[in-house]
């Protein structure tokens, strides 16, 4: 994690905190790097897509995933462990009458292991503040028009809890394999700023 981050004020603040922890003898640069490596190792939106595709093809897995996501993840070889502690994951399913969208209003908490590094817009103050107040307008700016008859629920992540959206399976995909279905799922669909 060494190096300077003059162009990014958040990165610069994080580095100052890291340097203070190192100076106080609480951690080494190597230990910080090891934590970051563990968190990012294998982190990809493909993980979330695999979860969704399994839920679309296996009703039992879908039920277990919605009831206890942390307990269901090992069935697809994944977990929310990584870093310092396991984070609680809640999967929220879209339906014809409800669309879910994710945000972290305080910072940018996000299920990195399942979605890869968060997009820059997810961290922006504009997204974090507006999606809570006017989710339909924000989704429209992403090119995703949610019907007026569909209720939108905004889920606010925290340091302990993360969310993942289970998009609705697209019509006409009954003949697709689980792998082909996973190829339809986007990171934006897993956050809720796209249909899939």
Annotated catalytic residue 108: yes
Annotated catalytic residue 157: no
Burial class (CB in 10 A: 0-12, 13-18, 19+), 17: exposed
172 is written with which tokens?
């006409």
Where do the H-state alpha helices sit in 79-163? 112-115, 120-123, 125-133, 135-141
* Active-site residue (options: 95, 107, 124, 129): 107
Tell me if 182 sits within 8 A of 50, measured CB to CB: yes
* Active-site residue (options: 2, 44, 95, 108): 108
E strand or H helix at 72, and its extent? helix 69-72
Annotated catalytic residue 107: yes
Neighbour count for residue 102 (Cβ, 10 Å): 23
Annotated catalytic residue 177: no
Residues carrying an active site annotation: 104, 107-109
């Amino acid at each position: 994690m060494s190096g300077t981050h003059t162009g990014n004020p958040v990165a610069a603040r994080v580095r100052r905190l890291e340097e203070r922890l190192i100076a106080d003898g609480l951690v080494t640069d190597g230990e910080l790097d090891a934590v970051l490596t563990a968190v990012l190792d294998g982190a990809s939106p493909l993980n979330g897509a695999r979860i969704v595709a399994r839920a679309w093809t296996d009703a039992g897995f879908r039920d277990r995933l919605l009831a206890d996501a942390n307990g269901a993840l090992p069935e697809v070889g994944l977990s929310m462990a990584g870093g310092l502690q396991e984070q609680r994951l809640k999967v929220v399913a879209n339906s014809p009458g409800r669309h879910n969208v994710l945000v972290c209003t305080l910072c940018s908490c996000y299920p990195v292991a399942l979605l890869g590094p968060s997009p820059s817009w997810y961290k922006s103050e504009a997204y974090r503040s507006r999606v809570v107040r006017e989710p339909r307008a924000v989704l429209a700016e992403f090119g995703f028009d949610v019907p007026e008859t569909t209720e939108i629920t905004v889920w606010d992540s925290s340091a302990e809890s993360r969310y993942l959206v289970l998009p609705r399976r697209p019509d006409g995909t009954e003949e697709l394999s689980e792998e082909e279905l996973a190829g339809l799922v986007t990171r934006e669909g897993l956050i809720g700023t796209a249909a899939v």
